[in-house]
Each structure stands twice: as structure tokens, then as C-alpha cells.
A and B are shown apart, each in its own frame.
Chain A
Amino acid sequence: MLVEMIFSGFGGQGVLSMGKLLAYAAMKEGKEVSWMPSYGPEMRGGTANCIVNISDEPISSPVVTAYDVVVALNLPSLRKFEPRVKKGGILIWESSTIKQPPTRDDIKTYAVPAVDMASNDLKNVKVMNMLILGALVKAMAVVKTDSLLLALKETLPPRHHNLIPLNQQAIELGMAQVK
């Protein structure tokens, strides 16, 4: 099975990191993966995105135009990528900052107030992306939660390993948002 995804939002929100973490976790499960970032004159506050493909077979095109999963963390990204969700696909959006919700009714949409929850419940807005990632793996079991935790352990530099429990909490809180 091939799952085609895009993670999009403002630079600095952690969209590239969450895509990388998910791809790494899938690789650890023996899947084929590709992670292609938008790169260039991006900056904090500008838009950024990455396309992630996870597959049981070798991946042909790393460039994709219609997605099984779209993660949108800001309004411009939601506007741009909502039309590109495949019919029946999944759209996860950050609902504490985006005030104009998606409009399509032929896809599954999940509103996650990740910014509010990360700052209020976890006292650290930086783990907002992990909340979203938790919601994603609950909405579509692309990888096991354990693989995400393993990926955190193996990709975070040891000096940041004290943050793993907080990230784990964020993932679990995100998962709880998807019923």
C-alpha cells in the first residue's frame, strides 16, 4: 500500500520535523519512504511543507499532487491543499489558529486545537506538531505509536532526550482528539 501525504504550515511550526519523524518511524517498520521538503527562500513565518510517501513497494514518484493525508497548520496551507485531498482522504487541521474551517464533505476532516492544547495542557507550544502527529496516526494507522517513540529516541540528539516524555504526552493527547 502507498500512502501519500503532505505536511504544511508556517516555517518554525515543525512541519518538516514531523514529516521526517513519521518517515523515519515507517522506515524502522521496514517500509519504503521518501521525504521531500519545499526548500529555498523559506524562513520562520513563511510557508513550508514536505511531501512524505510511505509504501510497501519501492516508491516511484516522490512528487505527488493528490494526497491521502493533508496536514495543514495555517490558513494558506489549508486553502492550498484542501482541494488536493483524494476523495475519502484525510485532512487534519490546526483549529485554534485557523478560523475558517475546511468546506469539503467528501473527505474526513479532523480539527485539532493543537496550539491551545500544547500551550495550556502541556505548557510548551513547541510540541504542537507532535499533537497533530498523534492525531494523524490515530486517524490512519500508518505507523505504530511505538515506532514514533523509537524514532524520537533515534533522531533527537541525546542532549534533548529529556524532552521525549513531553513529546510522548503530546502524541498521546493528539491521539485522544480523534474518536
Chain B
Amino acid sequence: MGEIKFMKGNEALAEAAIRSGLQGYFGYPITPQSEVVEYLAMQEPNHNYVLIQAESEVASVNMVYGAAAAGARVMTTTSSPGFSLMQEGVSYIACAELPCVFANIVRGGPGLGTIQASQGDYFQAVKGGGHGDYHLIVLAPNSVQEMVDHCRLAFELADKYRNPVMLLSDGSIGQMMEKVVLPEPIPYKPDKPWATTGKTPDRKRNIITSLYIQSEDMEKKNQTIQAKYQEITKNEIRYEKYRVDDAEIIISAFGLTSRICKKVVDLAREEGIKMGLFRPITVWPFPTDQFAEFAAQDRVKFFLSAEMNAGQMVEDIRLSVNGKKPVYFYGRQGGIVPTPEEILNAAKGHLK
């Protein structure tokens, strides 16, 4: 058993990154994410990583690009407006196929928005965000413990697929404190023969680029990364089921909302309503087949997606269910966290 601590989500994420062999962190403070930068700055003298508080998010993402190209285990964290600023670099990194970890501690938008928690960046996280055909692997932690577990997993997946991985968290998880079991620190020994670490006489130059000026080359690059995305989709879909075995209503949520929906399910069951929760843990790749399986079952009457946005993941559920069953939505925006009771009432409103 690892060390047990009482930590904020943001601090736990930072500590998990250190224990996962972090070599470089480049970031810029923004509420509700700033504790990550603060914690890493405080711990820097005791460890071997490089920490730079960049002049902006545009700078930090490009520092990540450079350090990842050199083979380092690197991360940046930010919150919504900051991640928007990073999109150019994120797209470049995805094309250059560089492993790194992003965490978006999402706050309410659009615009400068509010500093309260939101899930309004789902589309940006899973549909690209930057230009071109690319995907990040996107994990949606729902507890302080998962901020830790998903951080280590994110670094591993990033290396495995040479693909950027994102933690889609939110302000509540970043700010709240819970009991957390920290993993043993691991030394990081990168096995990255492609990294730009200086040419030696026994091999050709390593080139990291996202520029393929000939159409044929660019198409080939696209085909390579699309094949990789298929491989990721085949291997890495993760989800959690709660009381779904006899469920007639499938409620679905990611991140913090999935915790709230667990309570919704318990409240519904107390009233004799057969409800279950299906929670995507990877929101990209999305557990499409699992939703389709539920939709194919006679007893399932409808789906309800509960989100802290105006209806984003619900679109992926509708694509998965493909018209076989109704898919409803309930959401709050602007930094409001929905209560279990209001989600339950929304679900009951669709019961005939």
C-alpha cells in the first residue's frame, strides 16, 4: 500500500507527475489550476525536473513540444481559456507524434467565463480543438485518487502510442480534497530512439516535424496517425458501470458529474426506479459499442446524459445509440454543479 495523504486534486496531480518520473513542466498559472504550478515549484528543489513558469500558455505548449521532441517526460496544465491558447501547439504535437500530458482543469466558458467548475470543454477535448484531423487520448478522472491514477496512466499511454494524452478534469476536482493513496515513485528511463538527442555516427538524423509540404507525404502522415487512432480505439477504451444489470434507464456522465449520478442512481433505486450509471472513463476513444449494446436491449427505455455544459457528450451517445432509443440531456452551465435531486427529477420527467 502506498502513502496515504489528504490532498487537493491539483496537488495530487502534481505529486503523481513527480512520482511518475516527470522531467519537465512548463505552465502558466490560471484559476482553478494554479496549485499544480505552485506545488511543482515548491517541490522543484527536491527533484530533478525542469520547471519553467512560461510567459504565456502559447509559450508553455511550445516548450512542451521541444522537450517532448528531445525525449523528456513532460507535462503542462491549464484551465479552459489557457487550453484554447495552446491549440496550435497541441495540433503540431499531435502531428509530430510526441508523447506528453496535458491537464485541463476546466472552468466555465465561453470567453474568459468564470473560475467555477464546468465540463464545457468536452468538444474541444475529444473532437480536436486545434486544426486538422487528430485526436488526443482523453481521460476523465472523477476523484482526487483518479487524478493520481490517470496521471501515471496518461504518461504510459503517451509513450506507448507516441500520442499526447489529456486529463479532462474540472475546477471542483482540482480544488477539492480527498484521501488519496500515492504510488511508489518510479525512475523514468525513456526508450525513445526517435528522439532528437543529438546525432551519433551509427544512425541517421532524427527529424521531428509537423510540416509535410507535399500532399502525398501529408496524406501518408494522416494515414499513419489514423491507423494509430484505430489501434488506440481497439485497445484503450475504459469505462465504469454501476447497477446497470437490470437497468431500464441508463444515465451517463463523465468526470465529477458521474460521482453525482452515482447518488442519483441510489436515490432512484430507493424509489423503485431501475436506473444504472454508465460512465465513460476515456471520453476519447469513446465507448461507442457499449452504448450500442445497451440500446439493443429491450428493457432499456432511454438514456440520459448529465453534464455541466449545454449538451456535448450527449451527441456522442446519440451517435452510438443511432436512433434506437431516446437519448435525453440534462445540464447546468456557467460553473453551477447540478445536484443529485435535480438530475433525478429530470430523469423522472421522461418516464411515461
Q: Does A20 interact with chain B (Cβ within 8 Å)?
A: yes
Contact among A27, A35, A41, A60 with B176 in the assembled complex (CB-CB below 8 Å): A35
A61 — which chain B residues lie within 8 A by C-beta?
259-260, 262-263, 340
User: Are A60 and B262 closer than 8 Å at their CB atoms?
Assistant: yes
Q: Does A23 interact with chain B (Cβ within 8 Å)?
A: yes
Query: How close is A19's CB to chain B, nearest CB, in angstroms?
Result: 9
A37/B175 contact (C-beta < 8 A), A23-B6, A62-B259 known = yes
Q: Is the interface of B mostly helix, strand, loop or mixed?
A: mixed
Which residues 11-54 of B sit at the A interface, judged by CB distance below 8 A? 31-32
User: Are A60 and B178 closer than 8 Å at their CB atoms?
Assistant: no
A63/B171 contact (C-beta < 8 A), A24-B6, A37-B176 known = no
Closest to B5 in A: A27
List residues of chain B with CB under 8 Å of any chain A CB.
4, 6, 31-32, 114-116, 171-172, 175-179, 256, 259-260, 262-263, 266, 337, 339-341
Closest 9 CB pairs of A and B: A60-B262, A61-B263, A35-B177, A36-B176, A60-B263, A61-B260, A65-B339, A27-B179, A39-B175
Contact among B114, B266, B337 with A63 in the assembled complex (CB-CB below 8 Å): B337
User: Are B116 and A35 closer than 8 Å at their CB atoms?
Assistant: no
Q: Does A46 interact with chain B (Cβ within 8 Å)?
A: no
The number of chain A residues with a CB under 8 A from chain B is 19
B115 — which chain A residues lie within 8 A by C-beta?
39-41
User: Are A63 and B339 closer than 8 Å at their CB atoms?
Assistant: yes
A27/B260 contact (C-beta < 8 A), A35-B176, A63-B337 known = no
Closest to B173 in A: A62
A24 — which chain B residues lie within 8 A by C-beta?
6
A39 — which chain B residues lie within 8 A by C-beta?
31-32, 115-116, 171, 175
Q: Does A34 interact with chain B (Cβ within 8 Å)?
A: yes
Beyond A35-B6, A60-B266, A65-B339, 17 additional contacts (C-beta under 8 Å) are A20-B177, A32-B179, A33-B6, A33-B177, A35-B176, A39-B175, A40-B114, A40-B115, A40-B116, A60-B260, A61-B259, A62-B172, A62-B176, A62-B178, A62-B256, A63-B340, A65-B340
